[in-house]
């Protein structure tokens, strides 16, 4: 198995593949100011196994294009949607977020939780803008500094892993410079990291290792995730995900 296949096997059983919660998805939706309507057009980009997709489908009762480049996650989303009686709203789309198969001005709402880092925040919001109707809404969560001065260790970790990390004011400036008007912002609390993501993931480590005969590659992945959780627990006052809600200007 390749490393990517191992990562999919570890994560596909998880409801969330990154920090978040249904309550915070719904808070962002409230800040987006959209009311439920069957003719709304929504995309959830980098949806993974679809926690946010399903929360949006349940709240809005409209079709949602659920986009991910890993088909295994979309299959899992399909099963979860069926189990929740929401399958009629879900349109799975296997696609790379850098090259989306949608028409200009197609969407009232573009959603993306914990995924835009893959193409970078500024690139992502710039290239997805044309897919929104004028006045359409973007809601994305993105790793964000919570403090102005940080300990060197955590600064070095994020500079190496995602140099685009910035404070909320920096991200809001980028949104404005790319033709959006921010309408809401909040940060995710520690429960979104620990209760929704790290702890459920860690609960599956033993079974994951057993499925892969305790291979070196599987062990390495588990160690990496443990290190990442320890880092978060040590520095959770320095960074979190910020949730950015913004309206396309024209």
Ligand X SMILES: C[S@@+](CC[C@H](N)C(=O)[O-])C[C@H]1O[C@@H](n2cnc3c(N)ncnc32)[C@H](O)[C@@H]1O
Minimum separation from the CB atom of position 89 to ligand X (A): 17
Minimum separation from the CB atom of position 241 to ligand X (A): 9
Q: Which residues 6+ apart lie within 8 Å of 108 measured at CB?
A: 34, 40, 41, 42, 132, 133, 136, 137
Q: Which is nearer to ligand X, 46 or 136 (CB)?
A: 46
* HSE-up (13 A, CA, CB side) for residue 47: 36
Q: Where on the chain is the footprint of ligand X (CB under 6 A)?
A: 16-18, 20, 46-48, 51-52, 68-70, 73, 96-98, 113-115, 118
Q: Which is nearer to ligand X, 117 or 235 (CB)?
A: 117
Minimum separation from the CB atom of position 148 to ligand X (A): 26
Minimum separation from the CB atom of position 149 to ligand X (A): 27
Q: Which is nearer to ligand X, 107 or 134 (CB)?
A: 107
Q: Which is nearer to ligand X, 4 or 210 (CB)?
A: 4
How many whole angstroms separate alpha carbon 64 and alpha carbon 93?
10
Read off the tokens for 31. Answer: 């800040």
How many whole angstroms separate alpha carbon 143 and alpha carbon 156?
15
How many whole angstroms separate alpha carbon 6 and alpha carbon 208?
9
């Amino acid at each position: 198995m390749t490393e990517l296949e191992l990562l999919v096997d570890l994560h596909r059983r998880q409801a969330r593949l990154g920090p978040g919660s249904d309550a915070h998805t719904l808070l962002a939706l409230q800040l987006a100011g959209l009311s439920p309507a069957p003719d709304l057009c929504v995309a959830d980009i980098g949806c993974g196994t679809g926690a946010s997709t399903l929360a949006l489908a349940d709240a809005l009762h409209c079709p949602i294009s659920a986009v991910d480049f890993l088909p295994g996650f979309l299959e899992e989303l399909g099963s979860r949607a069926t189990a929740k009686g929401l399958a009629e709203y879900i349109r799975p789309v296997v696609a790379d977020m850098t090259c989306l198969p949608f028409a200009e001005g197609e969407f009232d709402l573009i959603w993306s939780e914990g995924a835009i880092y893959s193409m970078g925040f500024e690139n992502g919001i710039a290239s997805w803008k044309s897919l929104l109707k004028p006045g359409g809404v973007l809601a994305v969560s993105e790793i964000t500094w919570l403090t102005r001065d940080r300990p060197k260790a955590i600064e070095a970790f994020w500079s190496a892993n995602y140099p685009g990390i910035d404070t909320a004011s920096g991200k809001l400036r980028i949104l404005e410079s790319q033709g959006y008007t921010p309408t809401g912002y909040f940060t995710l609390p520690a429960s979104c990291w620990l209760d929704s993501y790290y702890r459920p993931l860690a609960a599956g480590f033993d079974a994951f290792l057993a499925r892969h005969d305790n291979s070196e590659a599987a062990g390495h992945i588990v160690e990496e995730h443990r290190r990442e959780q320890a880092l978060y627990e040590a520095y959770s006052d320095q960074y979190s995900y910020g949730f950015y809600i913004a309206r396309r200007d024209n």
